[in-house]
Amino acid sequence: FFRQLARMNMAPGPEASITTTTLSKGERVVPAPPNLDKRNYVELIGNTPLVDLTPLDPSLEQKGIKILGKCEFLNPSGSIKDRIAAHIVSDAEERGLINKDTTVVAASSGNTGAAIAMMCAMKGLKCIITTSGKTSQEKVDAIKAYGAEVIICPGAPADDPRHYVNKGAQIAKDMDNAFDVDQYNSQLNPDAYYFSMGPEIWNQTKGTVTHFVAGGSTGGTVSGNSRYLKERSHGRVKTYMSDPIGSVFFEYYYDEEKRVPEVKPFKVEGIGKDSIPGAWNEKLVDEIIQVNDQQSFDCCRKMSKQMGLLCGGSSGTNVAGALKLASTLEGPATIVTVLCDHGLKYLSKIYSDKWMVDNGFTV
C-alpha cells in the first residue's frame, strides 16, 4: 500500500481563481471553490507531524536533548493502526485473499479493530472484531459505528481458546470465506512501518534522530521503524522499548533462557502483552524501559493540560519512557517517540478522575 502511495502524484492543485458570476439582480464577485483534495480518504493515512515534547522537562534543553512526538492520533481512525490496516488489507486484495463476499476478522485491543472496521466500511466488506473486556467503551463504540460486529471475550490466559486472539483466529478458520488479519504474527505489520513511518521520521528530522522510543503490543511499530532507522543510519540510531510493568516483554528480553513470564495486571491499553508476538523482532531493540500505569497516566494528563495534546495511555507510556531515557543521556540527542492514539478514546478512563481514583491512582 505505502509503496503504491509513494508513486502517486498527490501534489496540490493551482491556486483558485476569482470568477464573476452574473445573477438575475446584478453582478457579484464570487470566489470559486478551491481545488478539492482528490485523494481517497485512505490515502490520508500517514505523513503525520512531529511535535516538540521537550518542554515537559525544561532541563533537557540545557543538555541539547530534544524529545519529538509523532502525532499518529491524526490518522483517519484516530490511531497509528491505520497504517497496518491499509497495508494488510491492500496486500490481501492484491493476492486475491479478499473479495466482495469476504468477512474480515481481526483480534484487537481496539485500535486495529477500529482501523480495520474503517477499511471494511470503505470497501463494503463485512467485518468481525474480537477484543477483551479491558477495551474502553469508546473504542468498542467506534468499531460498531463503522458497521463491524464486536465480540468481547472474557479475560483468559494467552493459550486459552477463549482469549480474544485465539477466538478471532478460530472464527476466521471456521468461516468459508474469511480473512484473518493476524496482526500479532503478520510480517506485513512491521513492513507497514518500515515503508512509511520510518522514512517519515528520518526525513522530518533530516537524519538527526539518535534514539527511537516505542512500546509494543504486536511489536510491529517498534520493529518496523527500528529496522528502517538502523539501516538508514548505519546502526547509529538506538531503539528503546517502553513496556508497562506487568507486561511480558521486559522479563522475556532480559532472560537468557527466554522463558515467557506470567503476565501481571496493568491498566494501560494497546501496549504491553501477555505473550510474545511473531511480529516483534527483539534483535532490533537495544533496551527496554519499564513504565508503570501511574507514570503513563500522569504523563497523558500533563501533556493535555500543559501542551494541549490529548493522547491515549500508550502515548503516556512512550513519552514517560522517552523522558526516562533522556534523563540518562548527556546530550546532544534527538529522541523520537510515538503518540499512538487520541485521548478521546479514553475519556471514561484515564481522563476521568472517578475512574482513576476507583482504580487506585492519584489525580
pLDDT at position 355 over 50: yes
Q: Are 39 and 76 in contact (CB under 8 A)?
A: no
What is the helix (H) or strand (E) element at residue 281, kind and residue range? none
Three cell numbers written together for 158: 494467552
pLDDT grade for 4, boundaries at 50, 70 and 90:
low
The answer to whether 230 is a known catalytic residue is no
Dihedral angle of Cα 295, 267, 227, 60, to the nearest 10 degrees:
-10
Whole-angstrom distance, CA of residue 311 vs CA of residue 308: 9
Residues 6+ apart with CB under 8 A from 157: 163, 274
Average pLDDT over residues 53-75: 97
Q: What is the pLDDT of residues 286-340, one digit of tens each?
A: 999 999 999 999 999 999 999 999 999 999 999 999 999 999 999 899 999 999 9
pLDDT at position 17 over 80: no
pLDDT grade for 142, boundaries at 50, 70 and 90:
very high
pLDDT at position 39 over 60: yes
Q: What is the pLDDT of residues 258-285, one digit of tens each?
A: 998 889 999 999 999 999 999 999 999 9
Q: Are 83 and 75 in contact (CB under 8 A)?
A: yes
User: What is the model's pLDDT at position 260?
Assistant: 87
Question: Facing residues of 71 across strands?
Answer: 339
User: What is the model's pLDDT at position 135?
Assistant: 97
| List 66, 81, 167, 273, catalytic entry | 81
SS (H, E, C) 294-352: HHHHHHHHHHHHHHCCCECHHHHHHHHHHHHHHHHCCCCEEEEEEECEEHHHHCCCCCC
User: What is the model's pLDDT at position 325?
Assistant: 98
Distance from the Cα of residue 55 to its chain's centroid: 23
Q: What is the pLDDT of residues 84-111, one digit of tens each?
A: 999 999 999 999 999 999 999 999 999 9
Average pLDDT over residues 4-19: 44
Whole-angstrom distance, CA of residue 44 vs CA of residue 151: 29
To the nearest whole number, what is the mean pLDDT of the chain?
92
Q: What is the pLDDT of residues 159-202, one digit of tens each?
A: 999 999 999 999 999 999 999 999 999 999 999 999 999 999 99
pLDDT-above-70 percentage for the chain: 90
pLDDT at position 126 over 70: yes
Residue 186 identity: S
User: What is the model's pLDDT at position 34?
Assistant: 63
What is the CA angle 44-76-119, rounded to 5? Answer: 90
